[in-house]
Amino acid sequence: MAEILLNCKGLQCPGPIMQVFKTAKEAESGDTILVKVTDRGFAKDIQAWCKKTGNELLELNVGETEISAKILKK
């Protein structure tokens, strides 16, 4: 069970979600992905993405300048 850190700060949509998509594809079931993003649209996108793909959104923190999300690969 690896914890994969993903720095997507500075990347604009769809950059972060593409990175998460790619990382999740390569990850093992049970791995967690911690992603940090500055793109505001990501907060909504990651919720929708997890719903559609069946992965679990463990944490979502929306700060003034940074959004972080923790995803459990199913």
Partner 1 sequence: MKERILIIGAVAAGTKAAAKIKRENPAAEVVVVTKDRDISYAGCGLPYFIGGLIEERKELIVKTPEDFEAATGATVWTLCEATKIYPKEKTVKIENLLTKEETLFSYDKLVIATGASPFVPPIPGRELKGVYTLRTIDDAVAIREAVDRGSAKKAVIVGGGFIGLEVAENLKDKGVEVSIVELVPHILPPFDEEMALYAQNYIQEQGVNIYTQEKVAAFEGAEGKVQRVITDQRELEADLVVLSVGVRPNTALAKEAGIEIGTTGAIKTNAFMETSIPDIYAVGDCAETKHLVTGAPAWIPMGSTANKMGRVAAINLADTGKERLPGVLGTTIVKLFKLNAGKTGLSERDAKKAGYQVETAIVPANDRAHYYPGYREIITKLIVDKKSHKVLGAQVVGEGVVDKPIDILATAITLGARVEDIEKLDLAYAPPFSMAMASTIVAASVIVNKLMGKLEGISPLELKKKLDSLQIIDTRDEGSYLIGAIPGSIHIPSGELPSRIQSLDPNKETVLVCKIGKNAYLSYLKLKALGFEKVKILDGGIRAYPFELE
Active-site residues, by number, are 13
Residue with tokens 């923790």: 70
The DSSP bridge partners found for residue 6 are 35
Q: What phi, psi does 46 have (nearest 5°)?
A: -70, -35
User: What are the tokens at 63?
Assistant: 């700060």
Minimum CB distance to partner 1, residue 23 (Å): 11
φ and ψ of 30, to 5 deg: 100, -15
Region 15-74 residues binding partner 1, contact defined as CB under 8 A: 17-18, 20-21, 38-41, 45, 48-49, 52-53, 64-66
Joined together, the tokens standing for residue 36 give 């940090």
**Which residue of 14, 59, 61, 74 would you call a contact of partner 1, by CB under 8 A?**
14
Query: What is the contact surface with partner 1 in residues (CB under 8 A)?
Result: 9-10, 12-14, 17-18, 20-21, 38-41, 45, 48-49, 52-53, 64-66
